[in-house]
């Protein structure tokens, strides 16, 4: 029988069965990698994801709350520096219409003045670009 994990894009990335080299940072329970879809005005958009599969924030064990949020904060600081942003926006979606990958994740987006409407179209970012973005972030991720 197919489990949720077998079909999960983020489980495949976290385990490096897909998009090898794209992981920017990892610790025991959380992993950071660039989003496959990014807005041209917000390049360097990262996802903070749990290593284990949970559908969304509703299913996250409370014991992981601090690690997930703490990692989102460290990621935001590093994103701001790595991508020379003025600031960051953190977003998190649970169930449609907001959520489209059903493995809990937090979006960390670099923000620039005049970068427009965050709901404007996203574009697929090729793996080589995502690997380069991951490397830029990696050196700036302090625990």
- Taking CB under 5 A as the criterion, the residue among 8, 41, 60, 101 binding Zn ion is 8
Q: Give the containing element (helix H, strand E) for 11.
A: helix 9-14
Q: How far are the Cα atoms of 17, 22, 32, 41, 43 from residue 38, in angstroms, in the given order?
A: 22, 14, 15, 8, 6
Which position among 45, 53, 74, 105 is part of the footprint of Zn ion (CB under 5 A)? 53
The piece of 27-35, 48-56, 70-78, 105-113 that touches Zn ion (CB under 5 A) is 48-56
Q: Which of 45, 103, 105, 107 is catalytic?
A: 105
Residue 10 makes contact with Zn ion by CB under 5 A: yes
List 36, 45, 74, 103, residue binding Zn ion (CB under 5 A): 103
Would strands 46-50 and 30-34 be described as parallel, antiparallel, or unpaired?
antiparallel
Asked if 105 interacts with Zn ion (CB under 5 A), we say no
User: Which string of DSSP letters, residue by residue, matches 20-83?
Assistant: TT---EE-SSEEEEE-SEE-GGGTT-EEEEESS--SSGGGS-GGGHHHHHHHHHHHHHHHHHHT
Rounded CA separation 30/117 (Å): 29
Q: Is 105 a catalytic residue?
A: yes
130 binds Zn ion (CB under 5 A): no
Span interacting with Zn ion, options 25-33, 53-61, 75-83, 129-137, rule CB under 5 A:
53-61
11 forms part of the interface with Zn ion (CB under 5 A): yes
3-state secondary structure of 128: helix
CB of 129 to Zn ion, least distance (A): 23
Name the site residues for Zn ion (rule: CB under 5 A).
Answer: 8, 10-11, 53, 103
Active-site residues, by number, are 105
């Amino acid at each position: 029988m197919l489990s949720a994990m077998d079909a999960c894009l983020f489980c495949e990335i976290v385990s490096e069965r897909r998009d090898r080299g794209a992981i920017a940072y990892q610790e025991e329970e959380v992993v950071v990698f660039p989003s496959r879809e990014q807005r041209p005005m917000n390049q360097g958009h990262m996802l903070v994801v749990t290593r284990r599969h949970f559908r969304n924030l509703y299913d996250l064990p409370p014991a992981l709350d601090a690690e997930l949020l703490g990692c989102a904060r460290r990621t935001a600081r590093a994103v701001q520096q790595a991508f020379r942003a003025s600031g960051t926006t953190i977003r998190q979606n649970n169930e449609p219409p907001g959520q489209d990958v059903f493995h809990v994740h937090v979006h960390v987006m670099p923000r620039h003045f005049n970068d427009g409407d965050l709901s404007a179209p996203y574009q697929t970012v090729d793996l080589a670009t995502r690997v380069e973005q991951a490397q830029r972030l990696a050196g700036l991720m302090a625990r």
